[in-house]
Structure 1
Amino acid sequence: MNYLKLFRFPQLLLITLLLVCCKTNTKSSDDNVSDQPQRQEQGQQQGPSVENLLEEMDTDNDEKLAKSEVQGPLLDDFTKIDTNKDGFLTKEELENAPRPERRGPRENNTESEDNVQRDFAVTVNVDSSLFIKESLLSEITQEEHTLSNGTKALCYVITTASQPQEHKMGPWCPTHIEDGKDKGGIWFKDDKVYDVDGHFIANLKEFYSDEEWALFREDGSVKVTETQEECEGAAKPDVEEQYHNYCVECLPDYYREKQSTYYIPVKPLYLEKSNALGRDGIGIAFNGVNFEAPAPTHAILAAHTLAPLDDAGGHVNPHAGYHYHAVTGATKEVAQNDTHAPMIGYAMDGFGIYAHKDADGKASTDLDDCNGHYDEVRGYHYHAGSAGSNQVLGCLHGASGSMSVKG
């Protein structure tokens, strides 16, 4: 039994499980591969191939599956299958997916395996008035919506163009190895932030200890994507070969028609088990720009490409338009009445996101794996990772709404 069968044929699964429970004298098909022909003779159908599964579920056609695109047992074991922890399931990971763990019958009075909701003494509702009105494409409304755990809740519906009001977007790539830091953005490594100036581009071989880096030509000009077609050839997991050793710069004007719609629960619901981050946004800044899961640096660097962020921690891709992978203090902040870090936005589960450091320049040391903790003023909330960590949040601990992009 594999994930493909479990996902595609729920009725067949139920029949199969009933047969397995009744046949106590035969070996499990998971334990004996040679039983496969016998099962087929008994009429059990084969599930779809990985290619068919990707074709059916890969809604954004990026040849991988985000958590928001899957369901059933595949969703339950998403983190286990996602071996490189980038928030996506690739074809290779699906093909190598472990079989579902066999569960015995549930005895009476045992603890439920459901993801239990926890109520805190303090839970702070989303304050929709904090969003910058000029960033919205329409007034914020309320609507009942199904959350990630299957429950229905009242959500704010927020529609934006992902265009910041507080800062300009870019620049990202310098055009010559003699350009200063004002001509480029930033990059990160080992929790540190570096200015992507001409000197940085010229010294990538030493920076990564890899002789294959060559982002500039003999005349010192930097190889930069200059059109939407070039941007889209370079800004994807399987970078087209002609754009290896390029600085990737996708401009906001390429995707100015994109609209992002968020459904965020008015009252957040904390769940005991955390949820891995998906592709479709992990939160929203007060300027309407989405916070994204970690940038897929393994794919970027493997092609010897660089996809710098601007000084605000954002860049552009064909899927989401302009978005943030880092928090640098460039966006709207809501100061607190104590020394706590300022608030910068909301996660998709409705819990607040706060800056990395407090007013005294100190980072919290008691955060969970999602970068969250609880206090009696703000309830449960998150803190953004450091700008060089490539991780705004580590996961989500609440029942999430959803985010979609069109245009």
Structure 2
Amino acid sequence: MNPALRNLPLAACAYLALAGLVLAHPDTDAFVQSAFLQAPEIVDCTLEDGTETQCHQITVGYLPDGLETGPFCPATLDDAGGIWDWTGENSGLYRIDGNFLRMLDGLGYRFFDDDGNVYSVDNATERPTVDHACINVSVDESVEITMLLPVEPVMADAPTQLGTVGKVGVALDGVPIFSDAPEVQVTGHMPALDTCGGHIDPGGWYHWHATSTDMTTTFLAEGVDADCALEQDARAQFGYAFDGFALFGSLEADGLQPVGLDQCNGHIGEDGAYHYHASADFPNLPPCLVGMQAQDNFTTTATAGVGAQRAGEDGRNEAPRPEGGGPGGMSPGFEEAAAELGVEPQALMEALGGPGQQPDLAAAAATLGVSEASLRAALPPPPNQ
């Protein structure tokens, strides 16, 4: 391929894609085959713009066999848990330990009692009784997840910003990938990530909020003393985005830094295919997707969390897990507020602002298509500091 094509802006990439010159096809053979609960199949599907097409349908369980997760929340200030991307004063990626939690305490967010015990809540079975708790969700081994990837990726007219708890894609080990977790300043609580950047959804299934196979690069860039137990390779493919384009680590296959990256941290490679790269800073995922996703591309058999379905007439999940909105859970009242406004909890969370932003209720109301007065009336009180 002509190297000059690698530096083309997104609009030019889209033109080439439409011309059939940018090839990218999700390959289900690239996945860890043991991750599938049943053999992948090609099914009819519909893209976001209404285009009828075909998709790879893959079904996975709550957690790949042999994948070790955690730690998440530390038990006391003397322990070290997972990691957290703090977006307030003194922002940065931190190990969740005594030093970090004491810093948050100085900012008005107290996550521990007078004896140094960390407030920890399993959002699958209980609600926090304190203003600020570390969320540590238990798994539901019965959960199945079904995802769709376009067989023939199609560039969108404009990128889709991922925001908070946006659907990014699926890793080659079958683990779903999501963008930023809900931040403490919005929910009041901390859905702790483990040192590979993942945690358990309120529905009981594990997912990533990071390019977990390139965490060493991020820890070095952010100055964090932590290790991910997964094999680290900044040159390797990590998975596929939900638009069908591949996700790679922060380096090219030859070990060089990628050049000509667009606003979604992607470009056209030497093979003529568009793909994304991880960044060095956390969260080390694309901030947006350039292609179109399939409608209804993520569903689960869980009764809570992203993609959840309610318990059916067969009585499955007779004692369903409490609904927590997006991965990691929301403060009590957010689910009810979303229902009252007639919007999805994820949409409500995203409209209230991205990381580090104070909610602009007027803008959020316009985004959601509701009045500012109705939004103010529906929202639960903000978490105390």
TM-score by length of 1: 0.59
Equivalent position of 1:349 in the other structure: 243
1:245 aligns with 132
Tell me the alpha carbon deviations over residues 170-196 of structure 1, each in whole angstroms, 9 at most, x when there is no partner: 1101011111x3xx1011246843211
1:272 aligns with 2:161: no
Q: Does 1:376 align with 2:270?
A: yes
8 Å CA contact 2:181, 2:191 repeated in 1: no
Verify the 8 A CA contact 2:54 2:151 in the aligned structure 1. yes
- Following superposition, the deviation at residue 135 of structure 1 comes to 1.4
AA of the residue aligned to 2:283: N
Report the equivalent of 1:293: 179
Q: Does 1:403 align with 2:289?
A: no
Question: How many angstroms does 1:286 deviate by?
Answer: 0.8
2:172 is matched by which residue type in structure 1?
F
The one-letter code of the counterpart of 2:114 is E
Task: Evaluate the alpha carbon distance shift between residue 227 and residue 342 of structure 1 in structure 2; reply closer, same or farther with a 3 A threshold.
Answer: closer
SS in 1 for 2:125: helix
Question: What secondary structure does 2:190 align onto?
Answer: coil
Pair 1:218-2:114 in alignment:
yes
What amino acid is the match of 1:343?
Q
Residues 186 and 193 in structure 1, CA contact (< 8 A), matched pair in contact too: yes
CA RMSD of aligned residues (A): 2.9
Letter in 2 for 1:197: D
Structure 2 counterpart of 1:185: 82
Deviation (angstroms), 1:374? 0.9
Q: Is the 8 A contact 1:333 1:343 kept in 2?
A: no
The answer as to whether partners of 1:332 and 1:344 remain within 8 angstroms in 2 is no
Q: Residue 201 in 1 paired to residue 98 in 2? A: no
Q: Which residue of 2 aligns with 1:257?
A: 142
Q: Does the 8 Å contact 1:201/1:215 carry over to 2?
A: yes
Q: Indicate if the aligned counterparts of 1:280 and 1:404 stay in contact, CA closer than 8 A.
A: no
Give the secondary structure class of the aligned counterpart of 1:229: coil
Post-superposition shift, 1:243?
3.4
Q: Is it true that 1:318 corresponds to 2:318 in the alignment?
A: no
Give the Å deviation of 1:127: 1.1
* Secondary structure of 2:105's aligned partner: helix
CA distance in 1, matches of 2:178, 2:75: 27
Supply the AA of the counterpart residue of 2:299. Answer: S
Post-superposition shift, 1:358? 4.2
Instruction: Check the 8 A contact 1:287/1:331 in 2, yes or no.
Output: no
Contact kept in structure 2, 1:334 and 1:344, CA below 8 Å: no
Matched AA of 2:49: N
Deviation at 1:328, TM superposition (A): 3.1
The answer to whether residue 61 in structure 2 is matched with residue 161 in structure 1 is yes
CA offset at residue 272 of structure 1?
A: 3.3
1:359 positional shift = 6.3
Deviates more, 1:188-197 or 1:397-406: 188-197
Q: Which runs of 5+ in 2 are unaligned?
A: 1-13, 214-227, 303-385
User: Counterpart of 2:116 in 1: which secondary structure?
Assistant: coil
Which moved further from structure 2: 369-378 or 283-292? 369-378
Q: Tell me by how many angstroms 1:293 deviates.
A: 2.4
Q: Is the radius of gyration larger for structure 1 or structure 2?
A: 1
In 2: Cα distance, 1:256 partner to 1:343 partner:
27
**2:192 paired residue number:** 308
TM-score normalised to structure 2 length? 0.62
- Counterparts of 1:94-109 in structure 2 under 5 Å? none
Distance in 1, matches of 2:84 and 2:203, equals: 21
Q: Does 1:131 align with 2:31?
A: yes
Greater Cα shift, 287-296 or 302-311:
302-311
Offset, 1:350: 0.8
Q: Using a 3 Å threshold, how does the CA distance of structure 1 residues 362 and 348 change in structure 2: closer, same or farther?
A: same
**Within 2, Cα distance between the matches of 1:135 and 1:286?**
9
Q: CA deviation at 1:352?
A: 0.3
Q: Deviations over 1:351-406 (max 9, x none)?
A: 001112346876535322222111231511111344x5336222221121212122
3-state SS of 1:163 partner: coil
Question: Partners of 1:373 and 1:396 in 2: how far apart?
Answer: 12
Cα separation, partners in 2 of 1:302 and 1:149, compared to 1, 3 Å: closer
Structure 2 letter corresponding to 1:118: L
| Structure 1 residues 142 and 213: alpha-carbon distance in aligned structure 2, compared to 1, 3 A threshold | same
Q: Which amino acid aligns with 1:245?
A: H
User: Hey, what's the Cα distance between the residues in 2 that align with 1:362 and 1:309?
Assistant: 29
Q: How far off is 1:258 after superposition?
A: 1.9
Partner of residue 222, structure 2: none
Quote the sequence identity (%): 29
- Whole-Å Cα distance in 1 between the matches of residues 202 and 58 of structure 2? 21
Gaps of 5+ in 1: 1-114, 235-241
Separation in structure 1 between the aligned mates of residue 93 and residue 119 of structure 2, nearest angstrom = 22
